[in-house]
Amino acid sequence: MAAYLDGVPLSGIIRIRDLMFTVKDPFRLDQGDISFDAPDTVKSAMTRAIAENKTHYVPTTGVPRLRELIAAKLRDKNRIPVTDPDDVLVTTGGIQGLYVVCQAILEPADEVLVPDPEWPPAAGHALLAKAVPVACPLYESNGWRYDLDELESKITARTRVLYLNTPQNPTGGVLTRSDVERLAEIAREHNLWVISDESYEDVIFDGEHVSIASLPGMYERTIPLYTFSKSYAMTGLRLGYVAIRDAAIRDRAKKALFYTASNISSVVQYGGIGALEGSQECIEQFRAELRARRDLFYRGIREYAGEVFSGEPPAGAFYAFLRIRAQAGDQSSSWRTAEHLIKNGRIGCVPGVDFGAHGEGYLRFCFARERRELTGALESMKTLFGVRV
Ligand code: PLP
């Protein structure tokens, strides 16, 4: 029976992308893709792998050296007690990591607590596993964090997974250490699995990144998920990973991986080895530049579009999730305003409602684009907002 797939939505980001193709000289603030290039350590490792004909099948779960390096990174940087590189599964980006994990843990009709708003594939992967995503609101007034009592009240006998994402897409919210500690307590108390999506672990401006699996007893029930996309500007290369302590769940995830990919591109995995063996300087450089772009973008918004948008600079990730002042209360406001910005201002953005009902009334702009693209978009807003939305 494949018909259930008809009920799994394709993200509105696709609709936006199609709209963007109709625009001449667009400002692509809609895509969550950083403008930086992958570091030379990655490119030279890939070139070497090709020259040395490392172009054959490799183990399904990943090249052993890469898994060793990832296990060491999880221990040293994330403080997760990974003692065996066999826990690690290398995936085609974070998105496939989430797919194999959902397939491995979820039974039909299980409930998954998902933030609202959230990167759409989080709910999509739950649906793909025939489970039910349950929206848990994040609040702007609270730095885009949960009301944890409210989150706990959504737990039922069917709740199996708590999906966390910090720093968060689309809001840039970062959970505090005390949030993470309380979430760990909730997971233990209600016997939940945690999928901890830490794709933006390195893109943090204020506060600290805390991996929930580093807390006592939590790695046993947590599957931490990462990607090379954001930390090493490798979005198109498609490299991610998860760590799974439980052997039975890991075996299931391995099957999902095998049947969808056999193994992840060997050359890209050598690129990942280059990234982890080489200097980590790029991470700090990217973060400093992203902070400067964030500040530039918010200065421009205040100056040129302060009447239309409001919002505080995010603590992490690289998105401005701005409230639309002019259209507050209008249920179609985020799509309508996004279409106006795209068609009349050439400015790519994503309607907040695409990330969940709680995102209605907001727009997401990615500020990880080149500075001149950001200033171009801001100039365009300046012109545009002389005209009524
Ligand atoms: N998780 C979150 C929250 C994301 O925003 C993304 C990408 O935008 C991913 C995971 C997956 O990224 P990728 O598949 O490029 O590794």
Domains and CATH numbers, the chain: 3-38+282-384 (3.90.1150.10), 40-277 (3.40.640.10)
- Region label for 88, one of left (φ > 0), alpha (ψ between -120 and 50) or beta (otherwise): beta
Going by alpha carbons, the residue nearest to atom 9 of ligand 1 is 94
Confidence of residue 385 (pLDDT cuts 50, 70, 90): confident
pLDDT band at 246 (very low <50, low <70, confident <90, very high): very high
Q: How far is CA 262 from CA 85, 174, 312, in A?
A: 19, 35, 44
State the closest ligand 1 atom to the C-alpha of 228, by its place in the atom list counted from 1: 16
User: Which residue's CA is the nearest one to ligand 1's atom 5?
Assistant: 169
Q: Average of pLDDT values for 75-102?
A: 98
Query: In testing the pocket of ligand 1, which one of 199, 235, 269, 321 has its CB within 8 Å of the most ligand atoms?
Result: 199
- The answer to whether 187 touches 194, Cβ cutoff 8 Å, is yes
388 pLDDT higher than 60 = no
**Ligand 1, atom 12: nearest CA belongs to which residue?**
94
CA of 125 to the centre of ligand 1 (A): 12
**Helices 247-261, 93-105: crossing angle, 10 deg rounding:** 130
E-strand stretches of the chain: 88-91, 111-116, 132-139, 145-146, 159-165, 193-197, 222-227, 240-243, 309-310, 319-324, 350-351, 362-366
Give the ligand 1 atom nearest the CA of 240.
Answer: 16
> CB-hemisphere CA count at 13 Å for 157?
0
What per-residue confidence (pLDDT) applies to 7?
87
User: With the C-alpha atoms ordered 74, 76, 79, 84, is the resulting torsion angle positive or negative?
Assistant: positive
Q: Return the ligand 1 atom nearest residue 235 CA.
A: 15
Residue 99, SS3?
helix
Q: What confidence tier does 347 reach under pLDDT thresholds 50, 70, 90? A: very high
Confidence band, pLDDT 50/70/90 cuts, at residue 13: confident
For residue 272, with 0-12 CB atoms within 10 Å meaning exposed, 13-18 middle and 19 or more buried, which class applies? buried
Protein residue with its CA nearest to atom 10 in ligand 1: 94
CB 333, CB 324: distance < 8 Å? yes
**Average pLDDT, integer, range 229-254:** 97
The widest CA-to-CA distance across the chain, in whole angstroms, is 60
Which atom from ligand 1 is nearest to the alpha carbon of 118?
Answer: 3
Q: Sorting pLDDT into bands at 50, 70 and 90, what band is 2?
A: confident
Query: Alpha-carbon Rg of the chain, whole angstroms?
Result: 21
Are the beta carbons of 369 and 290 closer than 8 angstroms?
Answer: no
Query: Please, which residues have CB within 8 angstroms of residue 164's CB and are 6 or more apart in sequence?
Result: 115, 175, 183, 194, 195, 196, 197, 212
User: What is the tens place of the pLDDT at every residue in 108-149?
Assistant: 999 999 999 999 999 999 999 999 999 999 999 999 999 999
Query: Which residue is associated with the tokens 């706990």?
Result: 152
The alpha carbon of 381 and the centre of ligand 1 are apart by a number of angstroms equal to 28
Which pLDDT belongs to residue 172? 98
Give 300-320 pLDDT, tens digit per residue. Answer: 999 999 989 999 999 999 999
Report residue 357 as tokens.
């009902």
pLDDT at 326 over 80: no
Ligand 1 centroid – CA 58 distance (Å): 24
Kindly tell me if the per-residue pLDDT of 328 is higher than 80.
no
Residue 179: C-alpha distances to residues 105, 142, 175, 209 (Å): 24, 12, 6, 11
Average per-residue pLDDT in the chain?
A: 95
Residue 94 CA: which ligand 1 atom is closest?
16
DSSP letter assigned to residue 178 = H
Give residue 387's pLDDT band: very low, low, confident or very high (50, 70, 90): low
CB 316 within 8 A of CB 354: no
What's the confidence (pLDDT) of residue 12? 80
The whole-number average pLDDT for the span 79-87 is 98
Q: What's the full length of the chain, in residues?
A: 389
Whether the pTM exceeds 0.85: the reply is yes
Residue 104 in this model has a pLDDT that exceeds 70: yes
Tell whether the model's pLDDT for residue 331 goes beyond 50. Answer: no
Which residues contact ligand 1 via a Cβ below 6 A? 32, 93-95, 119, 165, 169, 197, 199, 227, 229, 235, 240
pLDDT of residue 1: 61
Percentage of residues of the chain with pLDDT beyond 90? 90
Task: Look at residue 126 in the predicted model and tell me its pLDDT.
Answer: 97
Distance 44 CA to ligand 1 centre (A): 24
Which residue stretches of 77-214 are H helix? Answer: 93-105, 121-128, 148-153, 177-189
pLDDT at 376: 97
How far is the centre of ligand 1, averaged over its atoms, from the C-alpha of 117 (Å)?
15
The CA–CA distances, whole Å, from 221 to 77, 91, 126, 247 equal 19, 20, 18, 12
